[in-house]
Structure 1
Amino acid sequence: MTGAEAGVFDPKKTREQEFRDGTAGRAVRPRDAATLILVRNDGPTPQVLMGQRHADHKFMPNKFVFPGGRVDPADSRIRPVEDLRSDVAKLLLARMRGTPSENRARALALAAIRETFEETGLAVGRLIDTPQRSKHKDWGAYFSIGVSPALGALDFVARAITPPYRTRRFDTRFFIADAEHIHGDPSKVAGSGELQGLHWIGTKDAQDLDLPNITRTILAEIDERLRLTSAAQKARAVPFIHFRKNQAIRDMLSL
């Protein structure tokens, strides 16, 4: 399930603050998190949805990012109308920290959908006659519009762990889905306000934004993926960026 180590990450691309160790001390244990990259293919070139984090955020202030956030305990209790594809589930389980489980893998994908809905107002899912109910604020709002998560629409495209000795660390899985799986008009973006300036932008143009180093890396990966056939995209190995002895390492996860 795991490919051979691809080597040390290019040092020319690791100069930004989030890719360097900070103060000495005990490393903070990373928390599970998930990001969803939505792609519109209804124009001359593919576009992705990005927004800017507020200046008062302690984690990556002012940076342009994809919607996402940490996994909530409620995510593991949601029943999707369609489960993860088996290939995606296996890749998510590869080198999973702690005790690997399909429920944890499912919760990662559900967190990506929930955070996207919270931050953008866009519901990725499928209309159903009798939607679930949830006491969780965001899931309750999501279900209230009559949709249910269809995880088969998501592909797992990258994983990255925040460098050691940061005050906040995340073990983030990056998912991608076509905007055709959004219930409603994808141009009508209106989320919680956590991300400002939300807009659709081409992958090349996005490189000119003020980006975290990892987001720039993921954008390059997405740009390459979108040039491949659907079958080739599904067969492509998943980059896993983490740190060892103060060096950024890029491994590849594959079936």
Structure 2
Amino acid sequence: MAHELHPDFAVKDASTVILVRDGVPGPEVFLLHRVGGMAFAAGMTVFPGGGVDPQDASADIAWAGAPVSWWAGRFGVDEARAKALVCAAVRETFEECGVLLAGPTADTVVSDTSSYATARKQLEAREYSFSDFLAREGLVLRADLLRPWANWVTPTGEHRRYDTRFFVAAAPAGQTADGATSEAASAGWQTPEEAIADWREGRTLLLPPTWTQLRSIAEFGSVAEVLAAEPEIPVILPTLYQEDGQRRVRFPGQDPYYGAGIHPWSNR
């Protein structure tokens, strides 16, 4: 039945990165279990990511890979916004799990990020900008290590709304994803199937965009196959509704999600 929700709220750009690596059974993804006190997606299991910082758009950085215009075309935005989304993707991945998609030259990537531990904390605290960090360390942002993957917008009616672009990237050799961020209670690598099983059995909570991306990655047999894919990127705008006293969200391919009998909005 129809239900009146909160009035619309401003939508903020965000970037999320699905880090993948090859495991014995197939690709594994890196997931963070968010702390319960977060203002958005509290307690949820998510990929690394976060909101775009205003400085991401104006960042003067060395850049390797397809030009910003290519990213603008893939995501259907102007070049300033595309640059901000890519910069935010690399910055948030570094802040949230210590993986840095950058290197001293356009065809290399740092093999160990432990020497940047202090800078990582300063970036998370917004003590200085990501572009300043890259310039100080003489690093080139490796946009070519990212692939565009999906675009989901938080439903109308939520207090915090994000227009989120999903990227995929292979975890660089030698770097360790650690999840050492104030926003995560724990973190680790799982196959998509394992992550979905944890959710289905009630051990974790997955929002529809995360659940959908896990299912999409599960279709591939290797990281190489994931990176070679060129998915269509329609804008997915779910809608909230009430059914049998429970708050639900309508989105493409939702039937298996609700078929599991899990309704994360029912207690909100």
Normalising by structure 1, we get a TM-score of 0.73
Match in the other structure for 1:216 = 211
Find the partner of 1:186 among 158, 167, 176. Answer: 176
What residue in structure 1 maps to residue 7 of structure 2?
A: 26
Q: CA deviation digits over 1:172-217, x for unaligned, max 9?
A: 000001113x6x4225x25332122111111110112421122101
| 2-structure distance, mates of 1:245, 1:190 | 31
How many corresponding residue pairs?
Answer: 219
1:160 aligns with 2:142: no
Q: Is the 8 A contact 1:27 1:166 kept in 2?
A: yes
Instruction: Give a deviation string over 1:42-95, Cα, whole Å, max 9, x none.
Output: 5442111111111111211111100100100111122242144665442212xx
- Equivalent in 40, 59, 63 of residue 81 of structure 1: 63
Q: Report the 3-state secondary structure (helix = DSSP H, G, I; strand = E; otherwise coil) of the residue aligned with 2:165.
A: strand
Partner of 2:263: none
Alpha carbons 1:127, 1:147 under 8 Å: kept? yes
- Tell me if the contact between 1:89 and 1:102 (Cα under 8 Å) persists in the aligned partners: yes
Pairs within 5 Å for 1:128-207: 128=105, 137=128, 139=130, 140-141=132-133, 146-180=138-172, 184-187=174-177, 189=178, 191-207=180-196
Which residue does 1:237 correspond to in 2?
A: 232
Larger radius of gyration: 2
Distance 2:189 2:162 in 1: 25
CA distance in 2, matches of 1:38, 1:172: 16
Q: In the superposition, relative to structure 1, how do residues 82 and 163 fare at CA in structure 2: closer, same or farther (>3 Å)?
A: same
Could you tell me how far apart the structure 1 residues matched to 2:184 and 2:25 are? 26
For 2:26 and 2:55, the matched residues in 1 are separated by 37
Letter in 1 for 2:195: A
Q: 1:119 aligns with which of 96, 117, 122?
A: 96
Cα drift, residue 123 of structure 1: 0.9
Alpha-carbon distance in structure 2 between the residues aligned to 1:22 and 1:233: 42
CA distance in 2, matches of 1:231, 1:197: 25
Distance in 1, matches of 2:228 and 2:209, equals 20
Per the TM alignment, residue 226 of structure 1 is displaced from its structure 2 partner at its CA by 5.2
| Residue deviations 1:101-120 (CA, integer Å, cap 9, x gap) | 11211210110111111111
The answer to whether residue 81 in structure 2 is matched with residue 104 in structure 1 is yes
TM-aligned CA deviation for residue 165 of structure 1: 1.2
Corresponding residue for 1:10?
Answer: none
Compare relative contact order (CA 8 Å, sep 6+) and give the higher one, 1 or 2: 1
**Are the structure 2 counterparts of residues 159 and 217 from structure 1 closer, same or farther at C-alpha, using a change threshold of 3 Å?**
same
The answer (yes or no) to whether the contact 1:118–1:138 under 8 Å persists in 2 is no
1:56 partnered with 2:48 = no
Normalising by structure 2, we get a TM-score of 0.70
CA distance in 1, matches of 2:226, 2:56: 29
Contact 1:159 1:239 (8 Å CA) reproduced: yes
SS in 2 for 1:58: coil
Cα gap change, 1:236/1:87 in structure 2, threshold over 3 Å: closer, same or farther? farther
